[in-house]
Amino acid sequence: MTEAADLPIGVFDSGVGGLTVLREMRRQLPGESTIYLGDEARMPYGPRPADEIVAFTREALGWFSARDCKLIVLACNTATSVALDVVRDESRVPIIGVVRPGAAAAISASARRSIGVLATTATVRSGAYARALRDLDPLADVIQQACPALVPLVESGKADSAEAEAAVRGYVQPLLTEGGVVQPVVDTLLLGCTHYPLLRGVIERVAGPGVRVVDSAATTALAVREVLLSHRLVRTTGAPGHRVFATGPTDRFRGVARAIFGEDLPAVEQASLG
């Protein structure tokens, strides 16, 4: 019988974006085994209605349950924002989302508590980041900006393109202008989608040196570590194993993922949901 601590951690995202969280988890928790699932066949989740996002997330959790994961990370801001409160009560294992850790990272980074949230349409509509930020600091000034073009650009391998820079500029510049003068309205930009760190360079360039850019990867990995410790689920024996699954074309997924992981990425396997 396999000990609970030896079971893998499941990591779920709508596509390749959650690999940014997986990378940080593997850095902070090198002894843990992981199973990653990217639902590329149905991405992006951001424009979808809430009931559909909840249904997709439930299907993913059922998929992980069949593979005996000891903990599941919703490394998808949209799924976390819309579905976490629903599916957490239905799960027999702990589920960690990325919204609360991301909010904590932003509050820690912001000097003026003036924070801009770049996120998908569904995440902005849910108000999850605004609530989480104001739970941590009731006086925080939060501006949300939906960025529907960014996930498709990342998933199509165009993160470094002129098209991506133009899209980022269109979303970020309104947060940098007040009364027609270029003066940052916010001092911190929170990347409220795990795909967006793949655009960090262009976002930082557009935002300028006076604005800090943060994401949830490091703080989410820290939250995972704390849960494993508190539940005595830290893996202490044997070599860890890692598997990566995608519901869409594995060749395309592998190509984009290689930019994140280099040659350390395991072979991408085909998965099916629904």
Nearest Cα neighbor of 80 from 55, 105, 53 is 53
Distance CA 144, CA 142 (A): 7
For residues 47 and 152, the answer to whether their CB atoms sit within 8 Å is no
Other CB atoms within 10 A of residue 138 CB: 8
Which is the catalytic residue, given 98, 193, 227, 244?
A: 193
For residues 186 and 175, the answer to whether their CB atoms sit within 8 Å is yes
Distance CA 199, CA 203 (A): 6
Other CB atoms within 10 A of residue 215 CB: 27
Distance CA 211, CA 189 (A): 7
Q: DSSP letter for 174, please.
A: G
Distance CA 136, CA 168 (A): 28
Which is the catalytic residue, given 9, 76, 83, 95?
A: 76
Kindly report each contact of residues 250-253 with a partner whose C-beta sits within 8 Å and lies 24 or more positions away, as own/partner.
Answer: 252/40, 252/157, 253/15, 253/16, 253/38, 253/40
Query: Do the strands 177-178 and 181-182 form a parallel or antiparallel pair, or are they unpaired?
Result: antiparallel
Q: What is the largest CA-CA distance in the chain?
A: 66
Active site residue 193: yes
Active site residue 147: no
Annotated catalytic sites, by residue? Answer: 76, 193
